[in-house]
């Protein structure tokens, strides 16, 4: 019994040592000076990253959803490649005689179906609209896909831009995004001058901070040290850094093109302070619409008619050939 106790003690001590060594390699020394707390923090950080990056399991209900058919929209099922050769699937709502194309994208763990409301409205008003699912999203998702809350999703958005340019001659491109899709749309526009106007609903300002907010809201615990550990683990798993995806740091580059920012005042996922930060950082034409008493992405559902009216007016003002010439000269 004595030898067995000694063996268990040595094994526990070795586990504690391994945990501390791993924490140190990740840039942390100890958590509150305790090996046990270090292991707990590391375990929590690992859980956060796993939950953040893994796709939802496929299930039998994935294909039992609304489509453009139910809304009596003309549509084409389209597939187009990403830079790594993966195929993305989407719906193109066509207006063959029009140059205007709106790319409409959903939020984290969302689906293209989520954007059918505003997208169907814009199509009925004469716009081409492209909706698509990112890798790891929608009914075609794979267990091997990784979600990145903006990084790979941005690459997929850029693939959608290439597709639009292959299908339309000199398209006038607008962006509509909700939640993470809004953040992706802002960064995409900052990096691509061909996006002429961005309708951004409930975007977060900074990737790291939105994850820290989610942690604190869910657990009622401070973000240090778990979020710091999770940040390093995320980079090891995906190859991307949270600090590299920050709409608030890039939004000024959209100027002189316009942005329209929509946000709910009671948003517990992307705090309304993010909207104010983005609005302050935007350097070109900009509008800010804040609605009191609503949660994340709640403005559309609370004010559908007004939401669609404002979005249409925004794109009618900026997705016109004369505006393209004006912006080119201003740039």
CA 109 – CA 48 distance, rounded (Å): 15
Q: Summarize the confidence of residues 245-263 as an average pLDDT.
A: 98
Name the pLDDT band for 281 (thresholds 50, 70, 90): very high
- What pLDDT digit, counting tens, does each position of 98-140 carry? 999 999 999 999 999 999 999 999 999 999 999 999 999 998 8
Position 25 scores a pLDDT of: 47
Average pLDDT on 38-64 reads 90
Q: Is the dihedral of CA 88, 50, 186, 272 positive or negative?
A: positive
pLDDT value, residue 64: 87
What pLDDT is attached to residue 63? 81
Band of the pLDDT at 259, cuts 50, 70, 90?
A: very high
User: What pLDDT band is residue 61 in, cutting at 50, 70 and 90?
Assistant: confident
Backbone angles phi, psi at 171, to 5 degrees: -70, 145
Q: Please write the tens of the pLDDT for every residue from 226-251.
A: 999 999 999 999 999 999 999 999 99
Q: What sign does the CA torsion over 217, 219, 225, 229 have?
A: negative
For the chain, which domains are there? 76-206+246-330 (3.40.50.1820)
Q: Is the pLDDT of residue 22 over 90?
A: no
The answer, yes or no, to whether residue 291 has pLDDT greater than 50, is: yes
Region of poorest pLDDT, from 1-15, 158-172, 294-308: 1-15
Ranges 34-38, 62-66, 300-304, most confident = 300-304
- CA-CA distance, 21 to 77, in Å (whole number)? 51
Residue 154 Cα distances to 123, 165, 224, angstroms: 24, 17, 28
CA dihedral in degrees (319, 321, 327, 330; nearest 10)?
-160
Q: Looking at the chain, how many residues does it have?
A: 331
Contact 118, 96 (CB under 8 A): no
Confidence bin at 37 (pLDDT 50/70/90): confident
pTM over 0.95: no
Mean pLDDT to the nearest integer, 8-18: 42
> Could you read off the pLDDT of 313-324 as tens digits, one per residue?
999 999 998 656
147: left (phi over 0), alpha (psi -120 to 50) or beta: beta
260-275: average pLDDT: 98
Q: What is the pLDDT of residue 330?
A: 53
The whole-number pLDDT of residue 127 equals 98
Task: Say if residue 11's pLDDT is above 50.
Answer: no
Q: Give, in order, the Cα–Cα distances in Å from 156 to each of 76, 83, 249, 330.
A: 19, 8, 21, 29
In the chain, the percentage of residues whose pLDDT exceeds 70 is 86
pLDDT for position 27: 42
**Which residues are registered as beta bridge partners of 260?**
199, 287
Look over the chain and give the mean of its residue pLDDT values, rounded to a whole number.
89
Residue 34: pLDDT band (50, 70, 90) is low
């Amino acid at each position: 019994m004595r030898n067995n106790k000694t063996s268990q003690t040595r094994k526990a001590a070795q586990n504690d040592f391994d945990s501390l060594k791993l924490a140190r390699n990740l840039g942390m020394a100890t958590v509150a000076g305790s090996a046990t707390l270090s292991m707990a923090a590391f375990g929590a950080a690992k859980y956060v990253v796993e939950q953040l990056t893994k796709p939802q399991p496929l299930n039998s209900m994935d294909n039992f959803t609304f489509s453009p058919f139910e809304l009596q929209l003309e549509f084409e099922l389209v597939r187009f490649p990403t830079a790594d050769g993966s195929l993305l699937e989407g719906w193109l709502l066509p207006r063959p005689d029009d140059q205007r194309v709106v790319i409409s994208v959903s939020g984290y763990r969302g689906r293209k179906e989520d954007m059918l409301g505003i997208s169907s409205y814009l199509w009925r008003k004469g716009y081409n609209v492209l909706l698509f699912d990112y890798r790891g999203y929608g009914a075609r998702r794979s267990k091997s896909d990784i979600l990145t809350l903006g990084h790979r999703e941005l690459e997929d958005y850029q693939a959608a831009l290439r597709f639009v340019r292959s299908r339309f001659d000199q398209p006038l491109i607008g962006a509509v995004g909700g939640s993470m899709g809004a953040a992706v749309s802002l960064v995409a526009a900052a990096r691509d001058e061909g996006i002429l106007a961005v309708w951004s609903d409930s975007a977060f300002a900074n990737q790291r901070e939105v994850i820290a907010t989610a942690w604190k809201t869910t657990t009622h615990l401070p973000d240090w040290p778990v979020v710091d550990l999770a940040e390093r683990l995320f980079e090891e798993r995906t190859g991307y850094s949270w600090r590299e995806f920050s709409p608030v740091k890039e939004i000024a580059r959209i100027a002189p093109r316009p942005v329209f920012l929509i946000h709910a005042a009671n948003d517990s996922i992307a705090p309304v302070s993010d909207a104010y930060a983005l609005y302050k950082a935007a350097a070109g034409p900009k509008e800010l619409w804040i609605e009191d008493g609503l949660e994340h992405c709640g403005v559309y559902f609370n004010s559908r008619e007004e939401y669609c009216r404002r979005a249409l007016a925004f794109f009618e003002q900026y997705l016109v050939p004369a505006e393209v010439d004006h912006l080119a000269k201003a740039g």
